[in-house]
A and B are shown apart, each in its own frame.
Chain A
Amino acid sequence: AQSVTQPDIHITVSEGASLELRCNYSYGATPYLFWYVQSPGQGLQLLLKYFSGDTLVQGIKGFEAEFKRSQSSFNLRKPSVHWSDAAEYFCAVVASGSYIPTFGRGTSLIVHP
């Protein structure tokens, strides 16, 4: 069965530190990959997406993600975290031929001053 795993439920970092949020998927073929962020009281906002081509994709708010086919991963990174980045982050996958995303459980990012 298709699945998306975000192994970290909570991540705590200090402001200015680097960040990596993990996402692994299990699909038969390379799917379309997304990262969303949800700030308190807000909807899910698309940070970035990967469909094909360059495996390192840039998104909004200084985020980037790297698709690694051999590891079935699509980890989200940011070199220097800001306090405003504290939010819930969701990895999502859309199988080729579909348009319905399967979401991971989410990772809650806590930023310490």
Chain B
Amino acid sequence: EPEVTQTPSHQVTQMGQEVILRCVPISNHLYFYWYRQILGQKVEFLVSFYNNEISEKSEIFDDQFSVERPDGSNFTLKIRSTKLEDSAMYFCATGLAGSLEQYFGPGTRLTVT
């Protein structure tokens, strides 16, 4: 069964450094999402992406964050200058056009020290 994959599974970085989290969507999915879950808290929506542009973003998704599909397959989340409070599990999700169902990857645990 096709699945969403994410790399790396765990990333440790120092405050102020840039990180790129990668996601490989299911091949025929057209909608892409990033979520985060701070330890012990809810899963929160960050951004949705369709047709090579952001379709919706939350207030969490500020200028420090960006997303792109650099090669038509990978879907990346970049944090330009990480802060301690960016430490969280980041989930990628993808979905078909017209469907409310989203398929989640296993997540990347980001630890900012």
A77 to B106, CA, bound (A): 24
Contacts of A103 in B (CB 8 A): 42-44
Contacts of A41 in B (CB 8 A): 9, 106
Which of B13-21, B73-81, B97-105 is near enough to bind chain A? B97-105
Q: Which of A32, A44, A105 contacts B42 (CB 8 A)?
A: A105
Known contacts A100-B56, A101-B45, A105-B41; A44 and B100 CB within 8 A of each other: no
Chain B 76-93: CB-based contact to A (< 8 A → 1; otherwise 0): 000000000000000101
Across the two chains, which residue of chain A brings its CB closest to B107? A43
Contacts of B44 in A (CB 8 A): 103
Question: Which B residues between 15 and 45 are near A, CB-CB below 8 angstroms?
Answer: 31, 33, 41-45
User: How many B residues touch the partner, as a band?
Assistant: 20 to 34
Is A45 an interface residue, CB under 8 A from the partner? yes
Contacts of B56 in A (CB 8 A): 100
A92 to B27, CA, bound (A): 25
**Is B4 a contact partner of A104 (Cβ separation < 8 A)?**
no
**Is A99 a contact partner of B104 (Cβ separation < 8 A)?**
no
Is A46 an interface residue, CB under 8 A from the partner? yes
Chain A 94-113: CB-based contact to B (< 8 A → 1; otherwise 0): 10000111111110000000
A104 to B107, CA, bound (A): 18
Which of A36, A46, A99 has the most B CB atoms < 10 Å from its CB? A99
A92 to B45, CA, bound (A): 12
Q: What are 16 A-B interface contacts by the 8 Å CB criterion? A: A43-B4, A43-B104, A44-B43, A44-B91, A44-B93, A46-B101, A46-B103, A51-B100, A90-B43, A99-B48, A100-B33, A100-B48, A101-B102, A102-B45, A104-B42, A105-B41
14 further A-B pairs in the complex, CB-CB below 8 A; given A41-B9, A100-B45, A106-B42: A43-B91, A43-B106, A43-B107, A44-B43, A44-B93, A44-B104, A46-B103, A51-B100, A99-B100, A100-B56, A101-B45, A103-B44, A104-B42, A105-B41
Please provide the 5 A-B residue pairs with the shortest distance between their CB atoms, ordered closest to farther. Answer: A43-B104, A44-B104, A103-B43, A43-B106, A43-B105
